[in-house]
Chain A
Amino acid sequence: MIFQTRSSGRQEEEVEKIDCDNYLEHLINAYGNLVFSICFRLAGSYFDAEDLTQDTFLSAYKNLHTFDGKNDKAWVCRIATNKCLDYLKRAGRNVVPMEDTYFNEVQCNKPSPEEYVLETDMKQELYNLCSHLKPPYQEIALDYFYYEKDISEIVKQSGKNVKTIQTQVYRSKIMLRKLWRKE
């Protein structure tokens, strides 16, 4: 329904917009982890991979009208690769992270001992970085990035304003990104 030619009429445009939103959600659910894995593998940084994943899906959303609907996995993968290439060129990096460095940091959600160890290492790395921050950013970063709590939960727990928590999350993310790049 998304890939039909556009016709006049506000109602049809709204229906098409809803279809695009639904399709984007489907792409995120189906390929979110894949895209993040590709971005993390190529960028080498957790938070940069997060930004690249966001850019990938937003780019896919903007260009849905050009997609023929045949192979969405390959299409999304190509967009992610392009974004990573732009990132590598911008950063002046001509080297793609090698397999050994990648697997030192990788985290996997598949149930196997090796993958469990990798996931634990990743979590430990994240915990260490969050611990380096000063309060109140340390608590916020641990709650949000390590324990994976929602903003609403943190607000209930701390009793602070939503905007305050959001600002602190944003600042702690910037600090964590710098720390990750240093390491």
Chain B
Amino acid sequence: MVTEEKQIGFTACNHKNIDFKNIALEELEHIASCEICAAQYAGFIEKQAMIKAPHYLKDNILKKSRAFSGVWNINKHIRLQMSWKRLQMFCYGMKIGLAMCGALAILFLVPVGDSQQKEPAVGVNFIDKMNRELREFSDNVLEYTDLLVLNSDANNKEDISHDKEKE
């Protein structure tokens, strides 16, 4: 049954008396794009004379289709893997980029003036303290060694005087 759409298509394509027996290339191109004419052409071929296809043709086609679907599945798997790798690479790149932006933000946005004053003061206090303590320690060590020396001198002098009295 011819529907309205088909009728419109029919008139638009100008399906007028295509001679299927002596067909031209332009008409063939039309048949390749028009469903109605293709069906008519198929009917003509079926009525006129059909040629028997080679006996091995079906097996060859089925073999190639199975090979094709196998290759297609492998390609699909490879494509999925590649897309997953690309996604991982993208996430990694985003992380690096965010980290860089954060570092730059901290560098430029955090106020520098107060910190410059504070940090040297803390540093200076700490260093001064350390210096003082070290000096005190060294002074104490020197005093102790001086005392030791003085005591040893005094003992030596007493010994000498005792020896002289005995003689």
| Partner-B contacts on A (CB < 8 A) | 17, 20-21, 24-25, 28-29, 32-38, 40-42, 49-50, 53-54, 57-58, 61-62, 71, 73-75, 77-78, 81-82, 84-85, 88, 94, 96, 98-99, 103, 106-110, 115, 118-119, 122, 144-145, 148, 150
A113 to chain B, nearest CB (A): 13
Cα distance, A58 to B34, chains bound together (Å): 21
Q: A21-B66, A58-B68 are in contact. Are A145 and B32 (CB under 8 A)?
A: no
Are B25 and A94 in contact, CB atoms less than 8 angstroms apart? Answer: yes
Residues of B within 8 A of A109 (CB): 50-52
**In chain B between 4 and 53, which residues have their CB closer than 8 angstroms to a CB of chain A?**
21-25, 28-29, 31-36, 38-39, 41-42, 45-46, 49-53
Are B52 and A33 in contact, CB atoms less than 8 angstroms apart? Answer: yes
Q: Which of B55-63, B90-98, B132-140 contacts A (4 or more CB under 8 A)?
A: B55-63
List the 5 closest A-B pairs by CB distance, nearest first: A36-B53, A74-B39, A108-B49, A81-B32, A77-B42
Are A85 and B65 in contact, CB atoms less than 8 angstroms apart? Answer: no
| Partner-A contacts on B (CB < 8 A) | 21-25, 28-29, 31-36, 38-39, 41-42, 45-46, 49-58, 60-62, 64-66, 68-69
Are A54 and B57 in contact, CB atoms less than 8 angstroms apart? Answer: yes
Majority secondary structure of chain B interface residues (helix, strand, loop or mixed): helix
B84 to chain A, nearest CB (A): 16
CB < 8 Å neighbour of B39 from A29, A77, A119: A77
Q: List 13 A-B contacts (CB under 8 A).
A: A32-B53, A34-B45, A38-B42, A38-B45, A61-B65, A78-B31, A78-B38, A82-B32, A85-B32, A108-B50, A108-B52, A145-B54, A148-B55
Residues of A within 8 A of B33 (CB): 78
Closest chain B residue to A88 by CB distance? Answer: B25
B102 to chain A, nearest CB (A): 38
Most buried by B among A73, A78, A145: A78
Cα distance, A77 to B28, chains bound together (Å): 11
A102 to chain B, nearest CB (A): 9
B132 to chain A, nearest CB (A): 75
